[in-house]
Each structure stands twice: as structure tokens, then as C-alpha cells.
Chains A and B, each alone.
Chain A
Amino acid sequence: MMSEKTLLQTRDLSIQFGGIRAVDGVEFSVHAGEVVGLIGPNGAGKTTLLNLITGVYKPTSGTVIFDGRRIDGRVPHLIARSGIARTFQNIRLFRSLTVMEHVQLALGSATGHLKSVFQLKPTDHARDATVMGSVEDTLTRFGLWDQRTQVASELSYGLQRKLEIVRALMLQPQLLLLDEPTAGMNEDETMEVADLIRLLSDLGLGVLLIEHNMPFVGKTCDRVAVINFGKQITTGSPEEVRRDPRVLEAYLGDDHDYS
């Protein structure tokens, strides 16, 4: 359920690489409990936008405001700890770490290094509380509980994508940024993820979602922002966006069925 609380707000956000404005004056917001879709052709600047929000890049102009405070230009790991977590377009898991170790790492990320030196693993985190219940509950929901001692590189592709989401959740975020979370998934897996995302938004998380799968976007998103050549084309409900001729033009003749 969407609340009035604005989690994320970008103002005239821009970044320039050499002569190219990869992101140009983008303005949108994400509220708690809301799922916002970010769509646009490849190379439109969507991932760059996520990088700006998470501190990987410093904007050349404009601001990013999270939970009432400016975060643009802040160090990525601090932004991650302050409530924004993300997944990646190309899976970036820790190949040699098990599922459980991914969880442990993210859960404990706020602990100081010195303290972590004296914490001998393994400690059982199954009962630890997360937004979705306990760790065990979360892993079970994502179908990863039975695989908890398996090394990430041995997981199936679909489970790897899910583990990325789980890892992000273990940072206890208020805002979740998902970069093409269902890329390469089959129909069933995609629907599972759609349900999980709706569940997360019901629990109060804000979600910003980059996707190319239009039915998926239609099913999960409350609002959609369309980006092309770094500029924001339009923002609105999935229905409105679907009917907007500028959006179709941006995709240059692709006719995507939003239903």
C-alpha cells in the first residue's frame, strides 16, 4: 500500500560523461509502499540513474534526496547502510560464498570491522528478524532455504537472481532498487518475483524497478517513468504510459502489449 511518505526524490538530476549527458534533468519520486517502474530502450540511462542514486557516480548537477536528506555524492557503502539496497543488471554475487554467507554478510554489514574480527562464524542467523519475518521465512519464500549451504556459483540462474534480491533485503532497506530482476527467467519464475515484489511493497518498502518485460511492469508497478537518451519522457500509471505516443515513439515501433 502506498503511503504519503516520500522515500526518494530526484531533482533535475544530471550527469555528463565527456560530451554526453547520460542522465539529463530527471525528476521523479518513490513513496513508501509504492512500486515505480523505470522503462526505456537499452542505453537510455536507466542503470546510470541507479548508479547516481546509490552513490557510484556523483551527479554533475541536480540532487538526490532520500528520507529527507541529500545523498548525492555520498559514499556507496554508507548509502547502502542507510536504507537503499540494489540488485544488478548482470548478476554480481559472491561466487565462493554460500547463500547463508551472503545473508550473514549483508545482515552484519553495519558492524564495525574490529567487532567482526572477534565474531567467529558460523553463527546461526536463521531466526534473525527481517522485513519478511525471519531469515528462514525469507529464504523459504524465495525458494533458497534448502540451498542455504550451497555456494552461489552452483545455483541455478533463477535462484541466483533471487539471491541478489535476498542479499539486498538483508540490508534492511526502505528502498529497493531492482535492475532487470527477471531477465532470463521463465514465466513461472517471473510471476513468483512479481508476487514477491508486491508483497514487499505491501510491507512498506519502496521499490524502483528497471524492466523490459512489459506485462511484468503492468502487473507490479503503481507508476512508471519512461527514460530515453537520459531524459524523462513521461511519468504516469502503466495505463497512461502505455497509451502515450511519445513512449511508443521512444521504442521506435516496438509494439509492446502491456496487458
Chain B
Amino acid sequence: MSIYQVGLLVQVCINILLGMSVYVALSTRQLNLGAAGFMAVGAYTAALASLAGIPISASLFLGMLATMVVGLLIGLPALRVSGIYLAMATFAFGLVVESIFLVLPFAGQARGLAGIPPVEPIVVFAWTAIALGGVFLLTRSQFWLRVRSIHDDEFAASMSGLNVTTVKISMFGLSGALAGLAGGVYAHWFVYVEPSAFSVEVSIFAALYVIFGGSRSFWGPVVGATILTLLPEYARGLDAWRPAFIGVVLLVMLILRPSGLIGRGTSLRSLLARRVRRSS
């Protein structure tokens, strides 16, 4: 496998994690448009830790931890707002984070941080697999039943004895942690971080992966991020028209199948069975 292809796979991993971050929050009807902000926190925390001599995996973990804490902190006031206002608030949060890193002296400000210790691809894949595995198991647990019930009817869920508040806040924390891991991986793969890398576009695309791939299934963000990352690479002909191409594809998807590619409750087995059937 060429270094280019490996790099592409790493990018896929980063995007899957970002998509998963939006997915877990969206599962409780909280649209998190600040993924870039969380990603930045994770990236800078991990980078600073590594630059201080901490081993990469430990730095990645620290990045996740820091971002999870931020997520939990944001999650509390987030409860007061819903729908589009929450989306805008998280959007504003992303902007706030970007501005903070532009002024923080020890984070290199506009110049960013360079010389971050590089990470082996296998470490990236391992961490991604662990994180995704964890989320996967979560979606197969009793806890996820609570998440789904809150998604369907928050009021009824509360009247059925569920502490909706703690579920929603913890999903925000998880959302943060996943985006934070994506940030840590980004920092150690590209060995350089600067505030402009964590722009509005990153947050928007994170939401895109979920909506495109399927917002009601674990495999949705996985498939969505994979396709939207790889497809433009393989459609080299329209390199210059990549954003427009993604825009059109997305538009068609939103009109024809707004729930995304992967429907609710699709298991891996049925997904693979479908693939096999089509190719034979």
C-alpha cells in the first residue's frame, strides 16, 4: 500500500470519528455543529502533551479526556436550548474555540504548533477501532434504548422514569471525546496544527457524513464518512469541481432519502449480505 493510500485511510478514520461525534449527539436530537471546536481542543491538548514528552497514545487519551470534559461542560447549558438554537450555539462555540487558539500564547497562535511527534498508521487504526468498537457496543446496550426513547419522545421518556438530563449531557461528553480523538490523530499525522485547520467547514462536513450515511444507524457515519472522503479522490476528473459535486450529491440525497443511505436497525450482516448479493 502506498503512503498516499495509507494517508487516505487515516483521513477516513479521522472523518469517521468526526461523523460518529455528531451521530451520538444527534441520537438525542442535539445537533452539534461545533465538532471543529472539539477537534481543536483534542488536537492541541494531545500535541502539547506530546511536545512535552508524553508518549503518543497517552497524549491521544489525554486529548480525548480534555475534550470529553469540555463536552460535558457544554452539555449542561446546551440543555436549555434545543433545535436550531442549539445548533447555532454549538456553531458559535466552534468559532469561540478557533479564536481562543488564535490568541493563546503557548499554543503558537496563528503560527500554530509544529514538530509534533509523528504517529504510526497502525496506532491510528488501533485507536479508531477501539473508539468505534466502544461506540458500537454502546449502541447494543440497554443504555442505547434510553437514547432512542429520548430521541423519539423526550417527555414520555422522562415520564417513564428516565433521567433525560444525564443521558443528554453524557452524549455530549461522548461527542466531544470522539471529536477530540479525531483532533489528536490529526495533530500527530500531519505533525502540525494551526487554528485555521479547525474551521466551520470541518463542523459542517462532520454533520454531512452522518446525514448522508444515515442518521439512525451506527454504520451511517462510517459509510458516509468513507464514501464522502474516498469518492472525490477516485473521481479525479472532477477535481476542481469537488465541492460542487459533493453539494449536488448531498442535495439529491436530502431530497430522495433524507434519512441517509443506511436505514435504522441495519445490522452488519444484512449490510454485507446486500453487498455480496449485488456482486455475485
Contact = CB atoms under 8 A, between A and B. Distances in A.
Direct contact of A and B (CB under 8 A): yes
Contact of B153 (A54, A92, A118): A92
Contacts of A96: 148, 151-152, 216, 264
A117 B138 contact: yes
Interface in B39-65: none
A204 interface: no
A85 B161 CA distance: 9
B141 interface: yes
A113 B170 contact: yes
Given A109-B161, A110-B161, 10 more contacts: A77-B160, A92-B155, A94-B157, A95-B153, A97-B148, A104-B145, A105-B146, A105-B162, A108-B145, A118-B141
Contacts of B160: 77, 80, 85, 105-106, 109, 167, 171
Contact of A86 (B142, B159, B170, B216): B159
B123 to A, nearest CB: 26
Interface in A69-110: 76-77, 80-81, 85-86, 88, 92-97, 101, 104-106, 108-110
A116 B143 CA distance: 5
A86 B264 CA distance: 29
A226 B9 CA distance: 69
A88 B158 CA distance: 13
Contacts of B166: 113
A56 B156 CA distance: 11
Interface residues of A, number: 33
A190 B60 CA distance: 60
A94 B152 contact: yes
B142 A77 contact: no
A-B pairs with lowest CB-CB distance, top 4: A109-B161, A92-B156, A94-B152, A119-B142
B161 A88 contact: no
A113 B168 CA distance: 11
Interface of B: 137-138, 140-143, 145-146, 148-149, 151-153, 155-164, 166-167, 170, 216, 264
15 contacts: A76-B158, A76-B159, A88-B156, A92-B155, A92-B159, A94-B156, A96-B148, A101-B148, A105-B149, A105-B162, A106-B160, A116-B143, A117-B138, A120-B140, A121-B141
B161 A54 contact: no
A111 interface: yes
Given A104-B145, A118-B141, A121-B145, A77 B152 contact: no
A80 B157 CA distance: 10
A102 to B, nearest CB: 8
A116 B164 contact: no
A14 B28 CA distance: 34
A77 B148 contact: no
Given A77-B162, A80-B161, A94-B149, A116 B141 contact: yes
A171 B161 contact: yes
Nearest to A101: B145
Contact of B164 (A56, A77, A118): A77
Interface centre among B146, B153, B156, B160, by most A CB within 10 Å?
B160
Contacts of B170: 113
B153 A94 contact: yes
Contacts of B216: 96
A108 B157 CA distance: 12
A117 B174 CA distance: 13
Interface in A175-232: none
A97 B141 CA distance: 14
B149 A77 contact: no
Contacts of B161: 77, 80-81, 106, 109-110, 171
A86 to B, nearest CB: 6
A109 B162 contact: yes
Nearest to A84: B159
Interface string A110-129: 11010011111101000000
B170 to A, nearest CB: 7
B137 A97 contact: no
A113 B156 contact: no
B145 A77 contact: no
A95 B152 contact: yes
B145 A54 contact: no
